[in-house]
Structure formats: C-alpha cells, structure tokens
Amino acid sequence: MNNNALIPTIGVVTSIRRDTPDVKTFTVVRADTGTGVCFKHMPGQCAMLSIPGVGEAMFSITSSPTCTDHMEFSIKKCGCLTSWLHQMDVGQQVTVRGPYGNGFPVTTELKGKDLVFIAGGIGLAPLRSVIEYMLANRADYGHIDIVYGSRSKEDLVDIDIIRDVWMKAPDVDVHLTIDRPQDDWDGHVGFVPAYVTELGFDPNKTVLVCGPPIMIKFTLQSLGELGFEKTQVYTTMELRMKCGVGKCGRCNIGTKYVCKDGPVFRFDQLDELPDEY
C-alpha cells in the first residue's frame, strides 16, 4: 500500500452478471492475490474505477463490507467509461482506489432504527451495500422495508437476490413496483413516490433514498405528507469527481466536497447548501 492518494491498486474482474439491459454487476478481487477486496469500506462509500486510457470515475461499492472475498459494482451503461466496462470480459484488470466518502451512518445514527429503503433503478446499487450489511448484523437494526421500483420488470437490478434472500429474511418487507403494467407482472404498478404514499409508513422510521433526481424530489414530498422530517431522510449524491479526496474542486457544493464530506447527506443538511446538485 502506498500513501499517494491518487495511485490505485489493480483489481481483476472475476465475473460479470447482466442485471438489466443496461446494468451489469462486476465482481472484482485483488489482482496480486487473486482474491479478497482491494480495500475495506463501509456501506455507502465509493471507489474510483478506471481503465487506463479510457477514463476514471466514481462508483458506489455495491457489495457489503461483510463480504470480504470480493467487491461488487453494479454499473449502468451511460458514458464513455461505463460503455467500455460493459463490453469487457472476465479476466480484465481494472484500477481501483478508495474508499471515498462518508458512507451511511450504520454504526451510529441508523443503529436500532426501523428503516425504509426507497430506491429507483440503478439507485439500488449504493443501498444494497447497506441492506446486506444490516442483514448480516440483523440484531442491530429494527424492521426493514424496501421499496424498489424500475421502468419495467426487466429493469429491476439484483432481482434474484431480492427474491431469494431479502424477501426471505426475517423482519424484512420488500415492496416492488414497475412504472407500467406488463403481461407477466402481478405485483404493484406505479411510480415509487405514489407507492410510498400508498404504503403509508410510520413517520418514526428512518429513510434511505436513492434514485433519479425526479424520483427523489417527489418521494420527499410523499414522505413529508406522511409526517417525516428531513432529519429522518438520507440520500447519496452523484457529481462529477476526479480526485476523490476533496482537492480537484469539481464536486464542490457550498462548503462541502461531495467526494469527501458526502456522498451521503441528510436532507436537512442538503437544505443548508446551495441548490446546485
């Protein structure tokens, strides 16, 4: 391990799972030992992944810290680097550096709480790390609700894990929804914010939300109507990042650097920042 923050370690991709038409989940292990994580992290923290010559970008670490033999990244294909990642094969080496950011306060503020996770589309990626961490430390947390929606049933990320593990876990309720009706779908249909209103959660719970900005905006409204305070709702942000260590300047919002002071913020904290995210 060197102490130069910008120099990455090498990881190797050991498996690639296609979750949806535009999301793949990559399993990465250390290249030198062929096993294990590149570094330890906490739920909600991020890593800079890169293919030299293509680019480097920040991704949330999808796997839980309790998974110590590999790291996972669920990545949606949307730009230059992600397109490259989507066309690569198993055995490809990538550079990894991190962990970056604060992560969700799983050992402090969230401990002992009843929790509601609300995710849309690829927004489940950073929350999966938290959910799996909590399931592994089940006694430390109260009841867990998971509301997850996508455009269609094909666009639900991690659906096998959701069905086979989360739905069977003790004291966990999973509420799936898709935007429009589909022939072989007998679950809920409708947008996430409306579904949240319909489900009507007890406003003493704590909420973790991640998804497209428009979903977050309306979900916040729904939560407000249900009686939730902004101090009970957490989210994680995505901005352009280059250094990951609060120096290159581009993820600066007000007095915060999202890569370092975030990416996890409570909504009352966001209210104190300029509206530029």
Q: Which of 61, 125, 48 is nearest to 94 (CA)?
A: 48
What is the rounded CA–CA span in Å between residue 45 and residue 66? 14
Which member of 114, 151, 248, 269 binds other proteins (CB under 8 A)?
248
Q: Of 194 and 239, which has the nearer Cβ to other proteins? A: 239
Which 48-87 positions form the footprint of other proteins (CB under 8 A)? Answer: 52-57, 78-80, 82
Q: Of 100 and 141, which has the nearer Cβ to other proteins? A: 100
What is the rounded CA–CA span in Å between residue 222 and residue 195? 9
Compute φ and ψ for 212, nearest 5 degrees.
Answer: -60, 150
Which 84-113 positions form the footprint of other proteins (CB under 8 A)? Answer: 88-89, 91-95
Q: Of 97 and 128, which has the nearer Cβ to other proteins? A: 97
Q: Of 57 and 118, which has the nearer Cβ to other proteins? A: 57
Which member of 185, 239, 266, 269 binds other proteins (CB under 8 A)?
239
* Buried/exposed code over 74-93 (b: 16+ C-beta within 10 A; e: otherwise): bbbbeeebbebbbebeeebe
**243 counts as binding other proteins under rule CB under 8 A:** yes
**217 counts as binding other proteins under rule CB under 8 A:** no
Which member of 14, 197, 252, 269 binds other proteins (CB under 8 A)?
252
Shortest Å, Cβ 9 to other proteins: 8
Q: Of 151 and 242, which has the nearer Cβ to other proteins? A: 242
In the complex, the residues that contact other proteins under the rule CB under 8 A are 2-8, 10, 31, 52-57, 78-80, 82, 88-89, 91-95, 238-240, 242-243, 245-255, 272, 274, 276-277
